[in-house]
Structure 1
Amino acid sequence: MSVKPPFTELDINTQDGGFYHGYSLPIALISKISMVLLVLWALVFPLNAGEMLSAVNTSLLLSFNTFYILAVGMFAFFLFVVAIIPSTGRRVLGTPGQKPEFSNFSWFSMMFGAGLGVGLMTFATAEPLGLWGSNPVLLSSDLAPNSEDALQSAYRYTFAHYGFHAWAIYVVTGLSLAYYAYTRGMPLTIRSALTPLIGRFANGIFGHVIDVLGVVATILGVSVTIGFGVSQLVDGVYAITGAGWLMDTTGDAPTATKTGLIVALACIMALSILSAVSGVGRGVKWLSNINLVLSLILLLTFVIFGSFLFAMTTYASALVDYILNFVSISFSAYSPVDAGAFAANAPAAVQALGAEDIASVYSGATNPWGSFAGFTEGLPEAAKSLPEADIAAAYAAGTEGRLFGWQAGWTTFYWAWWIAFSPFVGLFLARISKGRSVREFVLGAVIAPALVCFAWMTILGGTAIDLSLNSEEAKAAIVGASNSAKLFVTLEQMISGGLLQALIVMCVVLIMTFLVTSADSGILVMNTIMSGGAEETGVKHRIIWGVILTLVIGTLLLAGGGGLSALQNAMIIGALPFTIVMVGMVISLIKAMYNDGRRDRAGQPEGSASAQPAE
């Protein structure tokens, strides 16, 4: 039985001349206007912007937390199935016999730098340390935070946030785009990945909206990444120079000043624009190679001077534990517990308390960052005299609420971050992966980078934890430092003298190159989407989008009193519609691969006919 040819007649109208020559005017204008309005709002009404973004974010998490969790679990399992099935795994992302454009080293370097480079610099120490103090296992048991018993669960969720799930999000987008662009010869843009579902509607306003969602998600995802990286860059420069204007030391932990953040941002974005102007084959490629070399030097430093045996033991046990709990991590979604439901499930002695005291007990029992000991200490006076069994029962009544708050504030935040990042990283992965098989792409871009991330997390983070376990002084310094400063504080506890200063300087350079790589890759990707999939775009528009990206990051860093919260909230909000697009990508790719397999078995060539329904 014959199969209808696939819909491949994607026609994205671009301007024949003028300022927007080669660009789709609707996509470019809608994207720019959306971002300019966001910048003006955050600039003119910073407190209002911060408060409203926070309120919308909270509302969305209450409603869509489960959707985020289940969607990402589905992405991971879908990719593993596609890679395992022989007929789909051996398909080449290109014409039969086509060779990869880049060497394995350059391919991996660019993939690693664009995907998680900045995040690893900030969170290789901060993530394991944070989860060592709070994770679902600790919140639902009597295990003590920051203890040896808490180590296994800390790394289970560290690996979850930076492992196969994270890279699966990128690869779902990348594989979809590469499949249609290089197997079917369609434009390298977001709407191409939905043509099996929407067919000729991709040529109209519906297709424009899909591409705009990709641009907006890219801007917000890259903005959060650069926001974290810029904060750490300021910490590093402060550690070298001691310049007081860079750091506010009046709080519990030193934090970067607004002036320091904006100056660092301006320097990074200027370099990023220069790199983006040079293109993928020069600036991005060479910076990515430098990133990987410097990363290996930093990793080797921790191998020599850090807790390498502790790290490798942790790596092996944590990897096994992560794999054994993979299904549970993928599909365990928690729901909020409101005050009424908590009071109904609390013991009678708690129900007999006054309304204000019950509210206080509820707040403590559902606090995702608090332990049982902290809950007990924070009880109102009227509740402290209750029997121990009733206090324990009250804490247990809030377990689901604690788990929901933790998941929404940690795992769902990461899923939204990676999803917002996925149009950028996915399109970039597709751009550099022409000629590779589906199986090679999935294994190379999901398994391999995740294993390297695990090594980073165990060698750097494991050293920080080992130092904390063996010295109360080191524990106080490392755990008490801000997330962006934990790497530098760990180095200070590990080595000293001239070598320490040299390593901090190297880390600052590495952070800069990672930031520049992320930003310039994002600029190139945004221009590719707006030009209807063109791989070579106009220089002036790369510059313009570099400036717009700088303004978005800068104004959101200043919104709501300053800091990263407004950036994070905007990113989670922007990621939601693109998550829906990604679910559509998975359904489309299943349909496309199934029908292409039928055509192969029937001996039919892959023709195209605009009058045919989407296949």
Structure 2
Amino acid sequence: MTMSSEPQTPAAPSAEIDTDYLIGQDNIQPSIGPLKVDIHNPVFALTAGSVIALVLFCLIFDKIAADIFGALRPWLTTQFDWVFAISMNIFVIFCLYLIVSPLGRIKIGGKSATPEYSYPAWFSMLFAAGMGIGLVFYGVLEPLNHSLTPSFNQPGILDANGNVADAATVDAAIKLGMASTIFHWGLHPWACYSVVALALGIFAYNKGLPLTIRSAFYPILGERVWGWPGHLLDSLAALATLAGLATSLGYGSSQAAAGLHYVFGIEATIELQVSIIIVVTGLAITSVVRGLDGGVKILSEANMLLALALFLFVLIFGATSGILGIFVEGLVAYGVNLPALSNWVGRDDGYYFHGWTTFYWAWWIAWSPFVGMFIARVSLGRSVREFIICVLLIPTLACVMWMAVFGGTAISQLVNDGYTGVQQTIANWTPELSLFHMLELLPLPMFTSVVGIVLVLVFFVTSSDSGSLVVDTICAGGKVDAPMPQRVFWASFEGLIAIALLLGGGLGSLQALAIATGFPFAIVTVSMCYCIWHGLRTEPA
């Protein structure tokens, strides 16, 4: 995977840019002070002030914070599940409409724009952008979990006595379990990312506006986009990104701590998790200081190679004979069950729909400003149709293959070998241990476990440094070359948020914050669909 030293910045006004959109954007010019900062004052102040207040509250009133966040997640996921479900369905339907619409011929960047990256490089970056730590954390656990307790309250692979069920029940449970897993990692999340990325790409590269969330809302807000409505939109996007990143960092620290305990016997305490966050945040800051080429690019390439090596190892030494069947049959079951899984009316499988789906939808929506901005910056020159087809299908297939290999191996270990190691991580709800228990039955378990720990830590670093670049771009009024101290500031506070929430309620608090910020941003992202449609209609034929 290759990346240029600097991403393409929004184009200067030209014959291809609709200059009607440029009126008044001088109101978003950042302030430059004696400390070499380049910020958009209201957005930076709102975001930084909110983050500092949250960190202080969680550190000072940790028990109160734990109670609040502990109650917040179940309330949001049960009372507003329909908001998340409808929003994610709209994203999929809108993307499918653009694929078949004549608007799909329009290029991101205008008629003369050409792609900066080859297909292999572009596909690699699309996959790396969106999932990272989540795949390593849930890749083993989720397919087995949904095969044990399938959606729609269907029978699982074990009977009431804890024995493997009959062949027909096992086959049906595995298919539905894979379909339920793919549902969370397939078209819906990538459609959400596509909407945000397309909105940023069209309004930055075709309309010449700043590369920030507010720009997408010019069709609705007009000149008010440069005032307080725009400030609030950008601040909400920055906070949602920080919440999504903090959740991922919490997952990464808990899994790394569990791995260190498994391999080296180090007690996986909250203090160890905090220490891991501090160390990795320091590495992320180092990466930020080194810049895109010297830091993010090198780490991203190393991480992709490491992930590929672990993937091939499990593919070769795991349940090799059944992987292709699980992959193909899982995709078929996903297509068959997609309408029912997407439906939110009359659902009585609360464990799956509220405990998993609603949380995932909020988490992906919270991640969408981060992933969307990254995808927009590497997709210049692609047509809308090409962009959506590739962003929907390529990462989805990669995620399904990852889940089939890692989750399929765990399922085979339980059903065919009678090994209950991964099942116990579900029964005891220690999901951070699932990867390491699955590796126990494969060759060189200690070595591969160390590889897994390193993979989590490097994903941790790349998420933090990439996220700090995105938050800084939003808080600098769309600039992609803001001064380095600002990026260091945001990288530091990403770690502080994760630490504060871990101390104030653990992973549950991190998940609650992601849901709380994802809820209002769901409405923002749905509104982007209209803005994209309006923006594409005004493009030259």
TM-score by length of 1: 0.80
- Displacement after TM superposition at 1:6 (Å): 4.6
- Displacement after TM superposition at 1:304 (Å): 1.1
Q: Which residues of 2 match residues 371-382 of structure 1 at below 5 A?
A: none
Partner residue in 2 for 1:573: 516
- Displacement after TM superposition at 1:565 (Å): 0.4
Q: Which residues of 2 match residues 433-582 of structure 1 at below 5 A?
A: 433-474=379-420, 479-480=426-427, 482-495=430-443, 499-560=444-505, 563-582=506-525
- Displacement after TM superposition at 1:478 (Å): 5.8
Q: Which residues of 2 match residues 407-446 of structure 1 at below 5 A?
A: 407-446=353-392
Match for residue 289 of structure 1 among 301, 308, 325 = 301
Decide which moves more: 481-490 or 550-559: 481-490
- Displacement after TM superposition at 1:231 (Å): 0.9
Is contact 2:151-2:177 (8 Å) kept?
no
**Amino acid aligned to 2:43:** I
Aligned identity (percent) is: 34
Q: Distance in 2 between matches of 1:416 and 1:506?
A: 30
State yes or no: 1:259 paired with 2:235: no
**Amino acid aligned to 2:498:** I
State yes or no: 1:175 paired with 2:202: no
**Amino acid aligned to 1:270:** G
Is contact 1:167-1:445 (8 Å) kept?
yes
Decide which moves more: 74-83 or 470-479: 470-479
Q: Which residues of 2 match residues 328-407 of structure 1 at below 5 A?
A: 328-330=340-342, 332-334=343-345, 400=347, 402-407=348-353
Q: Distance in 1 between matches of 2:157 and 2:316?
A: 36
Partner residue in 1 for 2:97: 81
Is contact 1:14-1:23 (8 Å) kept?
yes
Partner residue in 1 for 2:56: 40
Unaligned runs of 5+ in 1: 248-256, 336-399, 601-615
Partner residue in 1 for 2:12: none
- Displacement after TM superposition at 1:143 (Å): 9.0
Partner residue in 1 for 2:22: 8
Deviation digits for residues 366-412 of structure 1, max 9, x if unmatched?
xxxxxxxxxxxxxxxxxxxxxxxxxxxxxxxxxx4x42453122101
Q: Distance in 1 between matches of 2:123 and 2:63?
A: 42
Q: From the superposition, tell whether residues 501 and 58 of structure 1 become closer, same or farther in structure 2 (CA, over 3 Å).
A: closer
**Amino acid aligned to 1:440:** E
**Amino acid aligned to 1:156:** A
Is contact 1:231-1:484 (8 Å) kept?
yes
Q: Distance in 1 between matches of 2:279 and 2:32?
A: 35
Partner residue in 2 for 1:92: 107
**1:188 aligned counterpart, secondary structure:** coil
**2:37 aligned counterpart, secondary structure:** coil
- Displacement after TM superposition at 1:504 (Å): 1.7
Deviation digits for residues 573-602 of structure 1, max 9, x if unmatched?
111111111011011111222233xx52xx
Match for residue 153 of structure 1 among 176, 187, 197 = 176
Is contact 2:19-2:207 (8 Å) kept?
no
Match for residue 123 of structure 1 among 135, 138, 144 = 138
**2:522 aligned counterpart, secondary structure:** helix
Q: Distance in 1 between matches of 2:382 and 2:247?
A: 31
Partner residue in 2 for 1:278: 290
Is contact 2:472-2:487 (8 Å) kept?
yes
Is contact 1:139-1:403 (8 Å) kept?
no
- Displacement after TM superposition at 1:483 (Å): 1.0
State yes or no: 1:112 paired with 2:57: no
**Amino acid aligned to 1:39:** V
Q: From the superposition, tell whether residues 301 and 142 of structure 1 become closer, same or farther in structure 2 (CA, over 3 Å).
A: closer
**Amino acid aligned to 1:565:** G
Q: CA RMSD in A?
A: 2.1
Q: Which residues of 2 match residues 45-60 of structure 1 at below 5 A?
A: 45-60=61-76
Q: Distance in 2 between matches of 1:124 and 1:223?
A: 20
**Amino acid aligned to 1:210:** L
Deviation digits for residues 540-559 of structure 1, max 9, x if unmatched?
11111111111110010011
- Displacement after TM superposition at 1:184 (Å): 1.3
Decide which moves more: 476-485 or 584-593: 476-485
Partner residue in 1 for 2:87: 71
**Amino acid aligned to 2:491:** G
Residue correspondences, number = 512
Is contact 1:125-1:461 (8 Å) kept?
yes
Structure 1 ranges of 4+ moved more than 4 A: 139-147, 475-481
- Displacement after TM superposition at 1:104 (Å): 3.2
Deviation digits for residues 49-99 of structure 1, max 9, x if unmatched?
1211233333333332111101101101211221232x3222211133323
Decide which moves more: 102-111 or 486-495: 102-111
TM-score by length of 2: 0.90
**1:317 aligned counterpart, secondary structure:** helix
Deviation digits for residues 94-142 of structure 1, max 9, x if unmatched?
1333232334333333332231011111111011122122232335999
State yes or no: 1:595 paired with 2:538: yes
Q: Distance in 1 between matches of 2:472 and 2:98?
A: 30
Is contact 2:92-2:192 (8 Å) kept?
yes
Partner residue in 2 for 1:388: none
Is contact 2:425-2:431 (8 Å) kept?
no
Deviation digits for residues 295-320 of structure 1, max 9, x if unmatched?
11111111211112212101111101
Decide which moves more: 27-36 or 435-444: 435-444
**2:29 aligned counterpart, secondary structure:** coil
**Amino acid aligned to 2:94:** F
Q: From the superposition, tell whether residues 307 and 141 of structure 1 become closer, same or farther in structure 2 (CA, over 3 Å).
A: closer
Match for residue 208 of structure 1 among 225, 231, 234 = 231
- Displacement after TM superposition at 1:432 (Å): 1.8
Partner residue in 2 for 1:608: none
- Displacement after TM superposition at 1:48 (Å): 0.7
Q: Distance in 2 between matches of 1:488 and 1:419?
A: 29
- Displacement after TM superposition at 1:484 (Å): 1.1
Is contact 2:155-2:173 (8 Å) kept?
no
State yes or no: 1:299 paired with 2:311: yes
Q: Distance in 1 between matches of 2:337 and 2:536?
A: 30
Q: Distance in 1 between matches of 2:150 and 2:289?
A: 43
- Displacement after TM superposition at 1:539 (Å): 0.7
- Displacement after TM superposition at 1:235 (Å): 1.8
Is contact 1:14-1:21 (8 Å) kept?
no
Is contact 2:21-2:209 (8 Å) kept?
no
